[in-house]
């Protein structure tokens, strides 16, 4: 079974500071990995995805993530936080070999707060 663990349910950073949200995955097969963002009372929006091409993945809103197989990690970063980045962030994994089934397994989420 696949799973993801997000370390830190709450992260606070100052505006302009580095954002680092941690995600570790567990998968017996090559995974697809995703980061989604959720604003209050809204659905989930895809930030970026890893699909076995480049290990450094760039997404929307200045976010990026690096796939590290040796560390089973897919941490999300942004060099400089903006107030608009305040939201809940979810890491998710799916099975590359399970073609035709996009079932995602999500982590418990990290709430990002930006301090003015």
Partner 1 sequence: DTGVSQDPRHKITKRGQNVTFRCDPISEHNRLYWYRQTLGQGPEFLTYFQNEAQLEKSRLLSDRFSAERPKGSFSTLEIQRTEQGDSAMYLCATPARGTNTGELFFGEGSRLTVL
Report the interface residues with partner 1, using CB under 8 A. Answer: 9, 32, 34, 36, 41-46, 49, 51, 90, 92, 94-96, 99-109
Shortest gap between Cβ of 48 and partner 1 (angstroms)?
10
Q: What are the C-alpha distances in Å from 71 to residues 23, 27, 46?
A: 10, 12, 23
Shortest gap between Cβ of 78 and partner 1 (angstroms)?
20
Question: Would you call 70 helix, strand, or coil by DSSP?
Answer: helix
Q: Toward partner 1, which CB reaches closer, 20 or 46?
A: 46
Q: Toward partner 1, which CB reaches closer, 17 or 105?
A: 105
Q: Toward partner 1, which CB reaches closer, 18 or 60?
A: 60
Shortest gap between Cβ of 84 and partner 1 (angstroms)?
18
Q: What are the C-alpha distances in Å from 105 to residues 3, 5, 76, 94, 96?
A: 6, 10, 17, 6, 13
Shortest gap between Cβ of 49 and partner 1 (angstroms)?
6
Q: Toward partner 1, which CB reaches closer, 41 or 70?
A: 41
Q: What is the DSSP code string of 1-35?
A: --EEE-S-SEEEEETTSPEEE--EEE-SSPEEEEE
User: Tokens 């302009």 correspond to what residue?
Assistant: 16
């Amino acid at each position: 079974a696949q799973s993801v663990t997000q370390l830190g349910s709450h992260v606070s950073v100052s505006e302009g500071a580095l954002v680092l949200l941690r995600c570790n995955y567990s998968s017996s097969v090559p995974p697809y990995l995703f980061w989604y963002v959720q604003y209050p009372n809204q659905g989930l929006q895809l930030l970026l995805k890893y699909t076995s091409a480049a290990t450094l993945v760039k997404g929307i809103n200045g976010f990026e993530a690096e796939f590290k197989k040796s560390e089973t990690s897919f941490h999300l970063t942004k060099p400089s936080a903006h107030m608009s980045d305040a939201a809940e962030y979810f890491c998710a994994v799916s099975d590359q070999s399970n073609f035709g089934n996009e079932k995602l397994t999500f982590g418990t989420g990290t709430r990002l707060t930006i301090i003015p």
